[in-house]
Amino acid sequence: MSAAGVVKAITPPNIRARKGSTPLVCLTAYTTPVARLVDGHCDIVLVGDSVGMVLHGLPSTLSVTLDMMIMHAKAVRRGMERALLVVDMPFGSYEESLEQAFRNSARLMAETGCAAVKLEGGATIAETIRFLTARGIPVMAHVGLTPQAVNVFGGYRVQGRGEDAERIWRDALAVSEAGAFSVVLEKVPEPLARRITEKIPIPTIGIGASAACDGQILVVDDMLGLFGDFRPKFVKRYVELGEAASAAIEAYACDVKERRFPAAEHVFGDEPKAIKGREAT
């Protein structure tokens, strides 16, 4: 915090400079209340296109739109002061041309106040990363399992095993050389993630990768245990909020059915009374 009491926000160059230093703490957020919870603890807050599956019940991220991303990013921005806000570019919003990528990225930044965008893909989008960064748009890259290519991969399976490791290595190197300030490594074997982290000059952010990465990211709803039936290997649950919420809702339903709620303290009488110096209405 500055001398004037104003929180100094983290920037993409700050993140780039953290290579090999204290690990970067990253989480997703899709709403203002959650943004307020994570902002003080995280270096990066990502509005991921995973919002489509987490909040909208979609079967994949492929039908998430730019308008959806802008809506959620605006909400998250209102709850943040410190962390770097990064927003996913959704499927179909940047692959067609360099001009399309710039136009949509610029709109996303202008309308949400985010400081960077995230693009999925490796060597195939290196030219796009170079084009955007040269025009003032910081880019976080994402290689390994890229959910927007789920149909190409045939599912959400580990990438980079065996001979395929060289492809992931080339992708990580390509996005680094193109100017990305960091790169997410998703669902790649631990030795490969460690090798990439040691060799490329930008921070790596792991999800199902390696503790050797320069940072880690999880979907906040996963680590809070809000989904009882979704337990991927790479997620550590720090609490079971889904179970607690279910029990609370069940207790509420029972109270309503038995007329225990609302009780006398939850309803209003005929005559207003003074409460702590104020008149009740």
Residue-range domains of the chain with CATH: 12-240 (3.20.20.60), 243-279 (no CATH)
- Annotated binding residue at 120? yes
Residue 90: predicted pLDDT: 98
The values of phi and psi at residue 17, to 5°, are: -75, -10
Which pLDDT belongs to residue 246? 96
Q: So what's the pLDDT on residue 276? A: 57
- What whole-number distance in Å separates Cα of residue 75 and Cα of residue 64? 16
Note whether 140 and 125 are within 8 A (CB): no
Query: What tokens appear for 11 in the block?
Result: 């920037």
Q: Which of 111, 163, 186, 250 is catalytic?
A: 186
Q: Is 271 annotated as a binding residue?
A: no
Q: Residue 229 has what pLDDT?
A: 78
Binding residue per annotation — 21?
no
User: Is 210 known to sit in a ligand binding site?
Assistant: no
172 burial level (CB within 10 Å; 0-12, 13-18, 19+): buried
Three-state DSSP class for residue 85: strand
- Catalytic status, residue 81: no
Query: Running DSSP on this structure, what letter comes out for residue 272?
Result: -
Query: Is 233 assigned to a binding site?
Result: no
Torsion of CA 183, 123, 133, 53, to 10 degrees: -50
Q: What is the pLDDT of residue 101?
A: 98
Q: Model pTM? A: 0.93
Q: For residue 86, give the 3-state DSSP assignment.
A: strand
pLDDT value of position 230:
77
- What pLDDT shows up at residue 273? 63
pLDDT-flagged residues of the chain (< 70): 1-5, 272-281
Phi, psi of 205 (to 5 degrees): -120, 115
Lookup result for tokens 């203002």: 32
Whether the ω angle into residue 262 lies within 30 degrees of 0, i.e. cis, is yes
Q: Which pLDDT value is given to residue 203? A: 98
